[in-house]
Amino acid sequence: MLFKRLIFLSILIVSFISFFQIFKGKLNLNKQQLTKLNAPNQYNSDNYNYDDGEKWPRLAMKGGDPYIRALMRTISASESNYAQPYHVVYTGKKVSNLRKHPDWCIKIVVGPNKGNCSTAAGRYQMLSNTWYLMAKRYHPQRGWSLFWASYSFEPKYQDAVVHGWLSDRKYWKADIPGLLRKGKLNQVLRLLSSTWTSLGYGIETNSMSRNLPTVYQEVLQDELSLLGDNFSQKQENSVVVEYFPKDVDNGVVEKALRSLDYQVILLPTLTVDVPSNSIWFGSKVNIEHVKLVAETLISSGVKIRAIRPFNKKVEFADLLIQVGADPEIQNIPSFTLEEVRSKSSFSRGDLFLNREVHALLYSHKKW
């Protein structure tokens, strides 16, 4: 009992010291890190030069949906129109260390939120609490600081988190990639304006807001030109993979999924004590994508026992693949690589057939 108390007290003391150091660091900002950036580009529709390629810098992240990438560059044109957008914090100052979100609480001196403070930082001016919430779901690389997760704020990770966020059809209750492909940019900007308030429909429009459609068209053409003849192939990669992480997976499933060229979204787990054993997919997902996910997981040692389409119409799931656990199929045989590779389609009937075969084999063995 005494030993347990000592362990508990040690953890308490370490946690308190760590918290104090973080809190102290927030109160004593390193003034050498806090330097004023160049003034933001003020837009003037009469003399603005859209041919200047440096005005809307490309993303640090490689890959992704070209329409979402163009939208991200458009958002940053209004939110962080500075020389070093990934390093900028509220008021146009910058931070040199991007190992984590700076979380500087800077007083707001003008506008509807005057008197409050803002922790907005980075190319997409994400508040610290928003960053940690979204990084938990979309960050491709999770680190650890003592007993809690930490997420690098480096440029490519800022991009990756926002790309995943904007691609999440369930979160926005809208298919943003699909809307952009249909040319409905204004509908998307209106949808996002409660999150990024400078997009033309929010409470803090600025000199760039009304010109964002023009900016978007320019950067979209740039993004599409980068793809060239591969654009039709890249369109298929708008498939999103959702995964329900659990301790019993030992990080194997997430690592395997991260190795693929898909946006991976982590969702809250309901079935925590059953290892991942199932794959579900939407009606517009090419079967080759399903097989690739299955083969990658099986090669990593994951026992996939069911691969099937969603049993009913799931909203915004046409291009969705889900990886999770089904407690009812723990005892049926798992797929082999050869079985997956030989498949030309997957149906819900396959699952019932596997159950019946297993039941027959089990009863015969018992007999």
Task: Name the strand (E) or helix (H) holding 278.
Answer: strand 278-281
CB neighbours of residue 259 within 10 Å: 11
- Cβ atoms within 10 Å, residue 125: 22
- Separation of alpha carbons 298 and 338, rounded Å: 11
* Residue 359 near residue 328, CB atoms below 8 Å: no
Identify which of 118, 44, 132, 33 has the alpha carbon closest to the alpha carbon of residue 79.
118
State the pTM of this model.
0.70
**DSSP secondary structure, 120-136, as one string:** -BTTTTB-HHHHHHHHH
Long-range contacts from 173-182, C-beta under 8 angstroms, 24+ separation? 173/315, 173/316, 174/316, 175/316, 176/68, 176/71, 177/65, 177/67, 177/68, 177/238, 180/67, 180/68, 180/70, 180/71, 181/67
Helix (H, G, I), strand (E, B) or coil at 205: coil
Transcribe 182-203 into DSSP letters.
TT-HHHHHHHHTTTSTTSSSSS
Distances (CA, A) of 307 to 104, 129, 201, 313: 46, 36, 43, 17
CB of 126 within 8 A of CB of 197?
no
Say if residues 224 and 236 touch (Cβ distance below 8 Å): no
Q: Are strands 278-281 and 306-309 parallel, antiparallel or unpaired?
A: parallel
The per-residue pLDDT string of the chain (367 residues; one tens digit each, 9 = 90 and over) reads: 555 555 555 555 544 544 433 343 343 333 333 333 333 443 333 333 333 346 899 999 988 889 999 999 999 999 998 889 999 998 888 999 999 999 998 887 776 777 788 899 999 999 999 999 999 999 988 766 555 668 999 999 999 999 999 999 889 999 999 899 999 999 999 999 999 999 988 777 888 888 999 999 999 999 999 877 555 545 555 788 999 999 999 999 999 999 998 888 888 887 889 999 999 999 989 999 999 999 999 999 999 999 999 987 677 788 899 999 999 999 999 999 999 999 999 988 766 555 444 444 444 443 3
